Amino acid sequence: MSVLHVVLPGDVADPRVPSGGNTYDRRVCDGLRALGWQVRETAIDGSWPEPDDVACDRLAALLTGLPAGALVLLDGLVAAGVPEIVTAHAGRLRLVVLVHLPLVVERPALDRLERTTLHEVGAVVATSEWAAGQLAAHHGLGHVHAVPPGTDPAPVASGTDGVRQLLCPAAVTPRKGQDLLFRALAELDGLDWHCRCVGTLDRNPAYVTEVAELAAASGLGERIELPGPRSGADLDAEFDRADLVVLTSRAETFGMVVTEALARGIPVLTTDVDALPDTLGRAPDGTVPGLLAPPEPDALAKALRAWLTDADLREHLREAAFARRSMLALWDHTARQLAGVLERV
């Protein structure tokens, strides 16, 4: 039986801070177990990727205590910013780093540290072909592998009235671009809509305040809700009520909520940045199952207006989203892909 040690951020199972990265980590660990791997997880609390001395000491002690030749998968949030700890074991352990989001996106000052870490480990895993190509080019790497997230089969969403209920399932942070969304919604004079932004409010409290004040100043306070994170059955219920899922990110290495929406036959309006066009993809007949727009309020408002006013467009997009469901890879495929990478290290 293959043994894999997995090092994860401390909040990986905390329902108060759901994230695509945490979901990916949990699902691949479960998937590898289903394939017969012995997976030994360690979650380390800390302000990753800039941890304090206590967190650094815990990571160093963990790696030091592993036997020579042990296979170790480290979440990039934990590993990338501390090359002095990780690379000290590169010759003794078989190290693989899983990069959900390159540090240069949100912590550019740590970019050099990530480069050092990734050059020294045995393999790097990225969550999309786009992200793998970007990592390889940016850091000059030749050992990056793309292992995209899977999806779970889900029933087709009921929706609300087929038009007005918008769902933005994302942490409220500048990268996710709720300010862009709210400015776009403010341009939709005379149109009927309601938007729920379900995601953690703890990552950037100042930004949460900013977008809440933006909504209030635009007179949208009663039409936009920021109820906080949802997970499990509560998140399923949010998707089931949605007529359109909206993700207005400024940067995204995959965008798992896009495929989660498509698995339910829900069209998606998202920005045309990074991996998002590939994640949205096309139905078998080549039709895009949603709308793509630049991350600019005017462009997003134009796309939203088209959705809200054009019944033929809505029906066309719903048909494409329904057809796209059968094309989505499942989580067991993701686990098998990752297993193949690990077995070659």
pLDDT band at 118 (very low <50, low <70, confident <90, very high): very high
Are 17 and 88 in contact by the 8 Å Cβ rule? The answer is no
Domains and CATH numbers, the chain: 3-150+330-343 (3.40.50.2000), 165-327 (3.40.50.2000)
Separation of alpha carbons 54 and 222, rounded Å: 44
pLDDT of residue 18: 83
pLDDT of residue 16: 82
Token pair, residue 72, equals 């170790």
pLDDT of residue 162: 96
pLDDT in tens, 214-256: 999 999 989 999 999 999 999 999 999 999 999 999 999 999 9
pLDDT of residue 22: 94
pLDDT in tens, 71-116: 999 999 999 999 999 999 999 999 999 999 999 999 999 999 999 9
**Mean pLDDT, residues 25-46:** 97
pLDDT of residue 221: 86
Name the nearest CA neighbour of 142 among 161, 119, 108.
119
Token pair, residue 287, equals 């039709």
pLDDT of residue 316: 98
Name the nearest CA neighbour of 185 among 237, 221, 159.
221
The answer to whether residue 1 scores a pLDDT higher than 70 is: no
Name the nearest CA neighbour of 231 among 255, 206, 205, 257.
257
Distances (CA, A) of 263 to 89, 120, 130, 228, 239: 41, 38, 21, 23, 10
pLDDT in tens, 155-172: 999 999 999 999 999 999
Token pair, residue 159, equals 């929706």
Percent of the chain exceeding pLDDT 70 equals 100
pLDDT band at 15 (very low <50, low <70, confident <90, very high): confident
pLDDT band at 122 (very low <50, low <70, confident <90, very high): very high
**β-bridge mates for residue 270, sequence order:** 247, 292
318: burial class by Cβ within 10 Å (0-12, 13-18, 19+)? Answer: buried
CA end-to-end distance (rounded Å), the chain: 16
pLDDT in tens, 41-55: 999 999 999 999 999
pLDDT of residue 219: 92
Separation of alpha carbons 36 and 206, rounded Å: 45
Token pair, residue 243, equals 């007529």
Q: What is the mean pLDDT of the chain?
A: 97
pLDDT of residue 77: 97
Buried b (16+ CB within 10 A) or exposed e, 208-240: bebbbebbeeeebeebbebeebbbeeebbebbb
Token pair, residue 18, equals 């759901």
Separation of alpha carbons 172 and 316, rounded Å: 30
The answer to whether residue 14 scores a pLDDT higher than 90 is: no
One-letter-per-residue 3-state SS of the chain: CCEEEEEEECCCCCCCCCCHHHHHHHHHHHHHHHCCCEEEEEEECCCCCCCCHHHHHHHHHHHHHCCCCCEEEEEHHHHCCCHHHHHHHCCCCEEEEEECCCHHHHCHHHHHHHHHHHHHCCEEEECCHHHHHHHHHHHCCCCEEECCCCECCCCCCCCCCCCCEEEEECCCCHHHCHHHHHHHHCCCCCCCCEEEEECCCCCCHHHHHHHHHHHHHCCCCCCEECCCCCCHHHHHHHHHHCCEEEECCCCCCCCHHHHHHHCCCCCEEEECCCCHHHHHCCCCCCCCCEEEECCCHHHHHHHHHHHHHCHHHHHHHHHHHHHHHHHCCEHHHHHHHHHHHHHCC
